[in-house]
Amino acid sequence: MDAEAAKELGKLLGAGLSMGLGAVGPGVGLGIMIGKALESIARQPEVAGDVRTNMFIGIGVTEAVALYAFVVALILIFVA
Amino acid sequence: MKHPWRWIIGLLVLGFLILLAILPGGEEMEFEVAGEFERHVLIELPTIGPFDMSITKTVAYLFVAVAVIVVFTIVVARSLRMKPGRFQYAMEAMYELARDGIVGSVMKSGKATWFPFIGAVFFFILASNLIGLLPLPFGEHYQPAFYAATANLNVTLMLALCTFVFTHYAGIRKNGAFHYVKAWAPSGAPPVLKQVIWFIHVVSEIFRLISLSVRLFANMVAGHAILAVFFAMALIFQSYLVGLALQGASVLIYMFELFVAFIQAFIFAILSAVYIGGALDQDH
């Protein structure tokens, strides 16, 4: 394999791996968080509004981690 | 057999699908997904200092978003009625969400001062995200293009910078510069730990800027890229059967993108409210 092909292979492999592995953690985190939020809404429906607002804040913060991986993948493919 | 017509319809559908599968597809075409995110210059304008003033695709989408917001709000404000129609009710619901759902539920003080900024950010991002789902003739040579102004890091970084600057402006104006900066570390902490916590807080303030802008940018790019990949797959497979399946799947993804467009505007606005509220009412 020549150097050019190896570089291309490394880029694409790295991009795929970064997105795939980077999505694992946030996926687990989002699942736990939304599950807990639904649990607490089911237990205390009167605080549903507050829980939902805070859940969305948490979703935004957690999801950002996966999106960093996405940006890294984009950078690897198109910029690096 | 009870329902012979069911079998007939089923066989007809099966035959139709087989026919679609064996029919030769459309002609071969080149389609570059990354090309959808290039910024074509629509109107060439001179460069003033370091700023290129040319009207690009992104700028055109920004103009359209602003025009949509202005027209919608003027139309609603001109025809306010006590018994609201469908359109007025929708706008009132969005306004109420921004006022009570975002600012009212997150901020403790300074609600009236900071609602205009957060409401404007919410409506602007919502409008640009939703307009991004419509094909508009702003592509190369005024071809219909599929793009969103918020799928550009420059736009989202500028919006996040607004939040960043306003956060610290609000905190300094309310608490005074010295007290504001001092309260970044808890007052009860031991000396060396206090400096470390203060430094970590400074880093987190900068990372807020990055996460706020990259979140919106990456969400919009990812959504548009998935839709573009689905369109491109129809060109790669060149089969009517695959085209039909992709059409159904892309409709579902499009509906999900409508949801994402709304959720991202909501999250950006609510995080801005959280940051500004945190700077106003410091807890240590």
Nearest chain B Cα to A59, which residue?
Answer: B267
Q: Cβ separation of B214 and A68 shorter than 8 Å?
A: yes
What per-residue confidence (pLDDT) applies to B226? 86
What per-residue confidence (pLDDT) applies to B27? 67
Q: Which residues of A touch B215 (CB under 8 A)?
A: 60, 63-64, 67
Compare CB distances from A67 to B34, B105, B215 and report the shortest one's residue. Answer: B215
Domain range spanning residue A44?
Answer: 3-79
Domain ranges of chain B: 33-280
Q: What is the mean pLDDT of chain B?
A: 85
What pLDDT, in 10s, does the model give residues B83-121?
A: 888 888 888 899 998 898 888 888 888 888 899 999 999
Mean pLDDT, to the nearest integer, of B265-274?
Answer: 91
What per-residue confidence (pLDDT) applies to B281? 85
Instruction: Give ipTM to 2 decimals.
Output: 0.78
CATH number, position A72 = 1.20.20.10
B49 pLDDT band, cuts 50/70/90, is: confident
Find the chain B residues whose C-beta atoms sit closer than 8 A to any C-beta of A: 34, 101, 105-106, 211, 214-215, 217-219, 221-222, 263, 266-267, 270-271, 274
Specify the amino acid at residue B140.
E
Higher pLDDT, B224 or B48: B224
Tally the domains of chain A. Answer: 1
Q: Which residues of B touch A53 (CB under 8 A)?
A: 101, 105-106, 270
What per-residue confidence (pLDDT) applies to B70? 93
Instruction: Based on DSSP, count helices (H) and strands (E) in chain A, helices before strands.
Output: 3, 0
Q: Is the pLDDT of residue B127 over 80?
A: yes
Q: Rg (Cα) of chain B, in Å, rounded?
A: 25
Backbone angles phi, psi at B238, to 5 degrees: 55, 50
Q: CA–CA separation, B87 vs B121, rounded Å?
A: 21
Distance from CA of B63 to the nearest CA of A (A): 27
B241 pLDDT band, cuts 50/70/90, is: confident
Q: Which helix (H) or strand (E) holds A5?
A: helix A3-22
pTM given for the model: 0.84
Q: Is the pLDDT of residue B284 over 80?
A: no
Yes or no: say if B125 and B269 are a contact pair by the CB < 8 Å rule.
yes
Q: CA–CA separation, B132 vs B227, rounded Å?
A: 12
What pLDDT, in 10s, does the model give residues A18-44?
A: 999 999 999 999 999 999 999 999 999
Q: Is the pLDDT of residue A13 over 80?
A: yes
